[in-house]
Amino acid sequence: AQTVTQSQPEMSVQEAETVTLSCTYDTSESNYYLFWYKQPPSRQMILVIRQEAYKQQNATENRFSVNFQKAAKSFSLKISDSQLGDTAMYFCAFSFGNEKLTFGTGTRLTIIP
Amino acid sequence: GAVVSQHPSRVICKSGTSVKIECRSLDFQATTMFWYRQFPKQSLMLMATSNEGSKATYEQGVEKDKFLINHASLTLSTLTVTSAHPEDSSFYICSAISSYTDTQYFGPGTRLTVL
């Protein structure tokens, strides 16, 4: 079975700084998808970024980027120029595409004004 | 694009009654939808996978007779909590997969309170 581990239960950073959230996963398969979802206080789950395992290039979405290390099974999220609206729970997740997501336990990120 | 709606957003009911929650994909067709339950300060727990035109697949430990799922069209799945009890109080979230991107998009959630 696939597992996703987020080792940082909570993090905080000053506004405008850069923060990196860690995620490791375990699978014996070679083709899969990795995601970061954000859950703000409204509790709406919002897709932040996705990565296809067969792509070597790291995904980027504006201030959000990932460091995907397939051999190490690591998928960290970097948030640049952090903003107050980035305060949320962040979940790392894994799937085989058209199948269920396996979530990590989440990292609670607080951006300090 | 890729918007999922969920209705109602909040519901309060008496113990023993049934509650239906609707999940709709608004701008894409979804052959597969999922239902999750989330307890405070915890991650999402998958309850079941809903496939259009067929029976739902329930995760281990989830009572299929208590949590009835119907996926009658490519844009609508419903979760009915039957004979609800206070322990069923929780935050329920649905998601739908876009076949274009193999990505799950989530509804805004439903807070169920059973008195």
pLDDT, tens digit, 9 for 90 and up, residues B8-62: 999 999 999 999 999 999 999 888 999 999 998 899 999 999 988 888 999 999 9
The predicted pLDDT at position B102 comes to: 81
pLDDT, tens digit, 9 for 90 and up, residues A4-40: 999 999 999 999 999 999 999 999 988 999 999 999 9
The predicted pLDDT at position B53 comes to: 84
The average pLDDT across A44-60 equals 94
Helices marked H in chain A — which ranges? none
- Taking 90 as the threshold, does the pLDDT of residue A109 lie above it? yes
The average pLDDT across A85-93 equals 97
A-to-B residue pairs, Cβ atoms closer than 8 angstroms:
48
The predicted pLDDT at position A78 comes to: 98
Q: Looking at the partner chain, which of B46, B91, B103 has a beta carbon nearest the beta carbon of A47? A: B103
> Which residues on B lie below 8 Å from A98 (Cβ)?
32, 97, 99, 102
Closest listed residue to residue A32, CA positions, set A98, A91, A105, A77: A98
Instruction: Tell me the torsion sign for CA atoms B85, B105, A48, B7.
Output: negative
Mutate which: B43, B58, B93, vs A, most A CBs within 10 A: B43
The predicted pLDDT at position B1 comes to: 67
CA distance B37 to B95: 11
